[in-house]
Amino acid sequence: MHYAALAILVIVCQTVGLVLAEPLAFRWADRFLTFDENELFDEPVNYLDGDPTPERWFPQLVDHFGLTSATFPQRFFVNDTWYQAGGPVYLYNPGEGANSARKVQRGFVVDLARATQGLVVSLEHRYYGRSNPVPDLSPTNMRYLSVAQALADMAYFIEHAPLPQIQSAPSTRWVVVGGSYAGNLAAWMRLEYPHLVFAAYSSSGPVRAKNDYYEYDLAVGDRLPCHELIADTVVEIDHVLDGKDTQQIDDLKKAFGLESLNRTKDFAGALVDQMATLVQYYAPPKSNHTDSINAFCEYFSNHTTPLNGFAAATRDYLKTKEIDAAQTFNTYLGAKNYTLEQSGRSWFYQTCTEFAYWQTAPRSPMLSMRSKYVDLDYNAGPCRAFFGSHLEMPVPVDRLNERYGADSIDVDRVFYVNGEFDPWRRLSVSSPVAPPRQDSLKNKYRVIPRASHCYDLRAPDEETDWPELVTIRAEIVATFQQWLNDPAIAR
């Protein structure tokens, strides 16, 4: 099941279509938010000389709000290469994906630690990777997965961190860092645990939970120069689906390489994958490489009809990403598969219970990049099949928004960064419809021109980084240096 964006989501910043070692039955929800952290840490620079960073384990509480004192082993990694006594600790949360040593070896957070003589810790999120408080992911066992439990995990870790080289908080200043969903957590840690968290760096955090997130497609369309051709083609596809002519629908599926999908809505939902991926994870091409967005749009002009071009682009996408359509886009596949390897199931549970983030088709007269069949029912319908009929539908997102403030969150010493072309920006503090923000010394709000989801967290690249990105990264470093060194600000 390709859990219906990171959306293709990083929220961990997992890429849609990414071929995983695990079975593909739980990949549908990756389209909601998760982002591919491999994109952030793929630079061939190893700041650590010598042996690879060993994994460590912390005895974390299973339930921070119950009567049990049971614990589970939570995985973390440490890089203290540049740490000097009195320096900050950067607690990096990898969000809805597995942890690894690369999280503390590469990426912009490592540059930030080096510039401030800090230590980097990457703490794996419960229910992801190898940090599991339960033996399987059956519906009953999902009860310990929530934002509140995840935040309490970090607080408990800060209070009891097995790091002999540092003093406990607040003597040591902790800075929580995250991107996408983990960007939410970073800001919310500063809000919920200000006595433990000195500051936060929140990248591309969609802090407002929403059921009907049709604006995602509006952002995708704004970024694609061929969006009108795509929208016209989607209308043509919907016309065929409306006709319910079995032969015509089968021919259409075959043209797109999706003949293995039996449900009409699964076919319709599969078509948006490549476009969302292109925009959400767009990166400027390296020298002598083709721009990915331009290459995609050329399909619509280089074939006899835009529909044929869309079909060819989809076939090539499936082939290049080695996607098994039947395993990837079957909405209900794997509903009874409870094995721990199905990490996509964990993120799907979070969307079904707290976030929603359902990417739906914009309604007329707005141009839509996806079929009208990709509606709330398509996105939310499987929730009860997977986790039980007791789940509230629509998702009660107001609870989360009211508790943490959504895009009106009010807390100081948080540096918020968003990408101009990130489809998730419209749920962030920098959304065009969010309450106006007053930039100040104790709070920073930056939108990087031309940037996509979590781009600022990537390892710097002299070949492809552009001036505005370089400038904002330098400002991030300077701001944290000032926050850490100015006693008046540090109060």
Query: Environment class of residue 272 by beta-carbon count within 10 Å: exposed (0-12), middle (13-18) or buried (19+)?
Result: buried
Give the Cα-Cα-Cα angle 115, 117, 118 (nearest 5 degrees).
105
Find the farthest-apart pair of alpha carbons in the chain and give their distance in angstroms, rounded. 72
- Band the pLDDT of 199: cuts 50, 70, 90: very high
pLDDT at residue 220, as a whole number: 97
> Is 203 in a helix, a strand, or coil?
strand
pLDDT at residue 490, as a whole number: 61
pTM: 0.92
Over residues 328-338, mean pLDDT: 90
Res. 258: pLDDT tops 70: yes
pLDDT at residue 171, as a whole number: 85
pLDDT at residue 486, as a whole number: 86
Res. 14: pLDDT tops 60: no
Q: Give tens-digit pLDDT for 158-174.
A: 999 999 989 887 889 99
Cis peptide before 285 (omega within 30 of 0): no
Query: Environment class of residue 350 by beta-carbon count within 10 Å: exposed (0-12), middle (13-18) or buried (19+)?
Result: buried
Alpha-carbon separation of residue 490 from 155, 174, 479, 486 (angstroms)? 20, 12, 12, 6
pLDDT at residue 29, as a whole number: 35
pLDDT at residue 333, as a whole number: 86
Token pair belonging to 337: 């598969």
C-alpha 186/C-alpha 169 separation (Å) is 16
> Which CATH number does 1-491 carry?
3.40.50.1820
Res. 49: pLDDT tops 70: no
Least confident of 37-41, 194-198, 231-235: 37-41
- Band the pLDDT of 11: cuts 50, 70, 90: very low
Res. 91: pLDDT tops 60: yes
Do residues 423 and 275 make contact, with C-beta atoms less than 8 angstroms apart? Answer: no
**DSSP sequence for 64-109:** TTSS---EEEEEEEEE-TT--TT--EEEE---SS---THHHHSSHH
pLDDT at residue 42, as a whole number: 46
The residues, ordered by sequence, that sit 6+ positions from 65 with a Cβ below 8 Å of its Cβ are 148, 149, 152
Q: Give tens-digit pLDDT for 437-489.
A: 889 988 999 999 999 999 999 999 999 999 999 999 999 999 999 999 987 77
C-alpha 356/C-alpha 111 separation (Å) is 34
Res. 24: pLDDT tops 70: no
Instruction: Give the rounded distance of the alpha carbon of 181 from its chain centre.
Output: 5
Over residues 89-99, mean pLDDT: 97
C-alpha 93/C-alpha 122 separation (Å) is 6
pLDDT at residue 384, as a whole number: 95
Token pair belonging to 275: 């476009």
C-alpha dihedral sign at 471, 473, 476, 478: negative
Please give the mean pLDDT across all residues of the chain: 90
Res. 50: pLDDT tops 90: no
Res. 252: pLDDT tops 80: yes
Q: Give tens-digit pLDDT for 112-158.
A: 999 999 999 999 999 999 999 999 999 999 999 999 999 999 999 99
Instruction: Tell me the percentage of the chain whose pLDDT exceeds 90.
Output: 81
C-alpha 267/C-alpha 314 separation (Å) is 12
pLDDT at residue 13, as a whole number: 66
pLDDT at residue 342, as a whole number: 86
Res. 246: pLDDT tops 70: yes
Give the helix ranges, DSSP H, for 141-245: 147-160, 181-192, 215-223, 227-243
Strand runs labelled E in 15-66? 56-61
Eight-state DSSP code of residue 62: S
C-alpha 444/C-alpha 162 separation (Å) is 32
Do residues 461 and 180 make contact, with C-beta atoms less than 8 angstroms apart? Answer: no
Strand runs labelled E in 385-461? 414-419, 443-448
Q: Give tens-digit pLDDT for 395-434.
A: 999 999 999 999 999 999 999 999 999 999 999 999 998 9
Do residues 359 and 16 make contact, with C-beta atoms less than 8 angstroms apart? Answer: no
Token pair belonging to 258: 């999706």
pLDDT at residue 15, as a whole number: 31
